[in-house]
Amino acid sequence: MLSRVANSLYWMSRYIERAENIARIVDVNLQLLLDLRNLNEERLAKHWLPIVQTTGDEEQFFALHHKATAQTVTEFLVFQPENANSIVSSICSARENARMVRDQITVELWEELNRLYWFVRTPTARQVWRESPSEFFQQIKNSSLLIIGLTYATLIHNEGWWFAQVGKYIERADKTSRILDLRYETLPEKGLPETVSETDALEWSAILRSCSAWDAYKTIHGAEVSPRLVAEFLLLNEDFPRSVRFCVDELNNALRKISGVAGGKFCNDAEKLAGRLVAELQFMTIDEIFDVGLHGYLDRLQGKLNDIGGALFNAYIFQNFNNLEDEIMVQQEEQQQQSGSRSSSIVTRY
């Protein structure tokens, strides 16, 4: 498989996953506001700002907007073309990557991705958004899920497919950890909060909803929502497909499908780092995590996921090659050395 193609498949599925996650975050938080009508402006800012922070684009946000309000944050996260991680930008990037590997993906997958692209690119998107934001987000989420399903059900599960899986699970693990970090300001630096107010409980259940985890969580813990249980569920649950542990397991598995190296061994840094993270999440308890502080832990976790992505790039995508000028020199030297053997009737241009 061409390295460039592997790279595009990886990013195509990362961007789709990103668009879907942002759609869920914004959707859930808009709905949450309906339950929190008596919030003052300060509390509102505290509600919206962390959402920008989760995406890691705070600096750019303030370059474009003065304050974090429902309007500015949703505009920034949904439509803003200057924000490379907005929903619309992510969909455009996913589609651009798909276009570059159009020959590697199926008609079904391409048409759906292309349909989603034209949906967000035409003025009707804003109209749908204005009339009913949740309808708008529903369309994005459904389309993303359809794309994930089409990827699973229509693409051949070859090397390229596994690269797409790696992209999806890295992005999903990263986004789950960032969503979980939304309310870190209400937590002590280390340890668990002493009390959980009603507003806090609503906000922590919003975190679950942002990860499509509400129903799954309830089957295990009932309606009791506490930061400890939510964090445990989203970080360490073995079976929930959006928990960090689940995603890292799948990611590790996909890496080994690509290389053919068995578990417990590694042939590149991506596998080494992924294997370590798998072990860490398997043999870690939520209390240990709160003891060192959830926010700090999540921060380091995101760093580790980044490192895995970087190592993957180094192992498969980026191969040492000369820059163009050097390459031209090398080739010209080689040609000159051989030109003596050429027929003399050939007139060369240089």
Positions in the binding site for another protein (CB under 8 A): 1-6, 96, 99-100, 102-103, 107, 110-111, 114-115, 118, 121, 159, 163, 258, 316-317, 319, 321, 324, 327-328, 330-332, 334-335, 338, 343, 345-350
CB nearer another protein, residue 6 or residue 231? 6
Measured CA to CA, the distance from residue 340 to residue 15 in angstroms comes to: 53
> CB of 1: closest distance to another protein in angstroms?
5
Contacts within 8 Å (CB) and 24+ apart, 74-78: 74/26, 74/30, 74/133, 76/52, 77/22, 77/25, 77/26, 77/51, 77/52, 78/22, 78/26, 78/129
Q: How far is the CB of 224 from another protein (least distance, A)?
A: 47
Question: What minimum distance in Å lies between the beta carbon of 272 and another protein?
Answer: 18
Strand, coil or helix: what is 191? coil
Of 111 and 189, nearer to another protein (C-beta) is: 111
Alpha carbon dihedral 9, 209, 284, 162, in 10-degree steps, equals -10
Task: Determine the Cα–Cα distance for residues 267 and 321; give it in Å rounded to an integer.
Answer: 21
Give 37 or 349: the residue with its C-beta nearer to another protein: 349
Q: How many alpha carbons lie under 13 Å from residue 72 in its C-beta half-sphere?
A: 17
Structure tokens at 221: 């813990």
E strand or H helix at 171, and its extent? Answer: helix 159-180
Shortest Å distance, C-beta 97 to another protein: 9
Q: Which residue has the tokens 């949740």?
A: 134
110 versus 246: smaller Cβ distance to another protein: 110
Q: Which lies closer to another protein via its Cβ, residue 39 or residue 107?
A: 107
Task: Give the nearest distance from C-beta 314 to another protein in angstroms.
Answer: 12
> Can you tell me whether residue 340 is helix, strand or coil?
coil
Question: Please, are residues 205 and 35 in contact by the beta-carbon 8 Å criterion?
Answer: no
**Residue 317: both structure tokens together:** 């995508």
Q: Please state the closest distance from residue 316 (CB atom) to another protein, in A.
A: 4
In the bound state with another protein, the residue whose beta carbon lies nearer, of 170 and 258, is 258
Alpha-carbon span 21 to 14, nearest angstrom: 11
Residue with Cβ nearer another protein (222 or 260) = 260
Shortest Å, Cβ 154 to another protein: 14
Shortest Å distance, C-beta 47 to another protein = 36
At its nearest, how many Å lie between another protein and the CB of residue 219? 39
Residue 282 or residue 339: which is nearer to another protein going by CB?
A: 339
Other C-beta atoms lying within 10 Å of the C-beta of residue 280: 13
The amino acid that residue 252 corresponds to is: N
Structure tokens at 328: 């031209």
How many residues appear in the chain?
350
Comparing CB distances to another protein, the nearer of 14 and 178 is 14
Rounded Cα distance, 227 and 221, in Å: 12
